[in-house]
């Protein structure tokens, strides 16, 4: 039955996403705020679809403060890239350039302010990310970044990519680290398991720290569930 539910999720989500993209492109010609409202509606639609069809719930501990800041999120599955749009007001998300360059959805991403990063471009990609990050800061919008750079296997604690520290230093914004355990339920294959995804929003880390310190503090906060498991602590919902 869960395989059927998982298949239905894809059959519903992607056609609906096309409709939301078309609506976004239409309203973007008239109002940036209207575009943001449609994108937020898409994220809410996905949240409800995941809950009602797949039986996946979200348990959130803590809250992201308002205003311009960096939101650094653990990355185990696709699902949190969409859910991140609901953690703060109109966040700008840093993601792989290949997604931003896709037809239709990529056009909406660019209009919304998504920052596409080409890892192969080196210093030029970093400069572009900084420029777009500064624009987001000037607009009062938070910036979401996945410091591990790509999806990681549950239970692993890889080092942060260098781009995170560079963006932190260039923007001079505080950081809110977010730990999660989505990979237990949201695997790369077809099957999506029912259950609860736990999100732990950590304490805000101030701007201006040295690279070693900010990376160590963010790394520890992102891997709160993994470090607790290694220490033998009982984890929520396990």
| Spatial separation of the C-alpha atoms in residues 34 and 16, rounded to whole Å | 18
CATH of the domain spanning 57-230, picked from 3.30.365.10, 3.40.1130.10, 3.30.1330.10, 2.10.240.10: 3.40.1130.10
pLDDT at 107: 87
pLDDT of residue 129: 78
List the chain domain ranges: 57-230
Answering whether pTM is above 0.85, one says: yes
pLDDT tens-digit map of 92-107? 998 887 778 888 888 8
Q: Give the tokens for residue 171.
A: 């923007």
In this structure, are residues 161 and 146 in contact, taking their beta carbons and an 8 Å threshold? no
What is the mean predicted confidence (pLDDT) over 34-61? 96
Instruction: Answer whether residue 123 shows pLDDT above 80.
Output: no
């Amino acid at each position: 039955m869960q395989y059927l539910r998982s298949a239905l999720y894809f059959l519903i989500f992607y056609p609906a996403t096309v409709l939301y993209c078309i609506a976004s492109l239409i309203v973007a010609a008239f109002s940036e705020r209207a575009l943001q409202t449609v994108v937020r509606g898409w994220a809410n639609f996905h949240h409800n679809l995941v809950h009602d069809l797949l039986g996946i719930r979200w348990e959130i501990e803590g809250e992201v403060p308002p205003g311009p800041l960096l939101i650094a999120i653990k990355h185990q599955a696709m699902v949190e890239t969409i859910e991140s749009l609901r953690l703060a007001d109109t966040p700008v998300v840093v993601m792989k350039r290949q997604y931003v360059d896709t037809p239709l959805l990529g056009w909406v991403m660019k209009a919304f302010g998504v920052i596409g990063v080409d890892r192969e471009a080196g210093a030029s990609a970093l400069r572009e990310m900084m420029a777009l990050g500064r624009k987001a800061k000037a607009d009062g919008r938070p910036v979401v970044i996945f410091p591990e750079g790509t999806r990681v296997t549950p239970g692993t604690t890889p080092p942060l990519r260098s781009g995170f520290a560079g963006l932190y230093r260039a923007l001079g914004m505080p950081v809110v680290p977010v730990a999660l355990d989505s990979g237990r339920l949201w695997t790369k294959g077809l099957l999506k398991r029912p259950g609860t995804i736990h999100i732990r929003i950590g304490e805000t880390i101030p701007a201006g720290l040295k690279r070693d310190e900010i990376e160590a503090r963010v790394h520890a906060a992102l891997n709160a569930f993994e470090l607790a498991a290694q220490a033998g602590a009982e984890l929520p919902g396990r």
